[in-house]
Structure 1
Amino acid sequence: MSEHIELHPETENGTNQHSNLREVDKPAEHHSSRRARVLIKDRTRQQALRDRKKAAKSPSTHTINRAIVHAIMAELKAQRSQGVKVGDVSLSFVNILDLSYKHLTKGTHAGNSYSLDEVRIAITARIQREAPKPGDD
């Protein structure tokens, strides 16, 4: 009895016939609910925003936030090394902006991947944005 059992049947093009991969932008037929349509529209909008930022060589909000935190921590570390207590640390807004700008435009973290003007505009816009109020979900 020499029976051959094929565990993973493949089609002519060599892919598994059971894999149901679909295009990312094409919604599945069963996604007809209003919520699903909103999610797809939101996903498409967010991707378009990321593509525009990348084309303009502008850093994302996440990248800007990381650069600002990096600058704050560097400033804190510099003052702590001088013996200043954490409660007495005084952070300079100008130094934070300068360090975050340098973090995004120089060195190994960014190289030449961001436009200098776009970084300046993005950091300024990020800092000018109002903080969310409690309960604004």
Structure 2
Amino acid sequence: MLKAASEAYFSEFPFSSLQKRVNQAIKASEQFSTRRNEIAHGIVAKNYNKPNDLAVEGEKSDDYWNLVPAMTSTKKVKLNSWGGDFTPEYAFTAKEINDFASGFWSLANDVALLIQEVRQRRCEYEELSG
């Protein structure tokens, strides 16, 4: 929907360099959309992945948690046997989720600046042509 709106807008207000940046933002948002959905629909499960960089020095604990797909998410979970274990497509750590959050905020800031520029350029265009 964003792509179609962008094409319609830029056919009326032709700003090629701005259109390129808008298209890049749309592409980035599509990639983040998948991560957002995985986070929003995931469940917390114990003992999936324990990256070495998250281990606390001197601590020996077998308790660690990950965000994994819900068992009902058949596209994101592979059952290893009937009624048995399953292999999730992802098992996010808190660090990974925080990294995604930083990316979401960065994209939101970039898009906010882009919106301001689109509005400014449109006003300038209308002043010149009106």
Q: TM-score, normalised by structure 1?
A: 0.28
TM-score by length of 2: 0.29
Higher strand share: 2
Q: Which has the higher helix share?
A: 2
Point out the structure with max Rg over C-alpha. Answer: 1
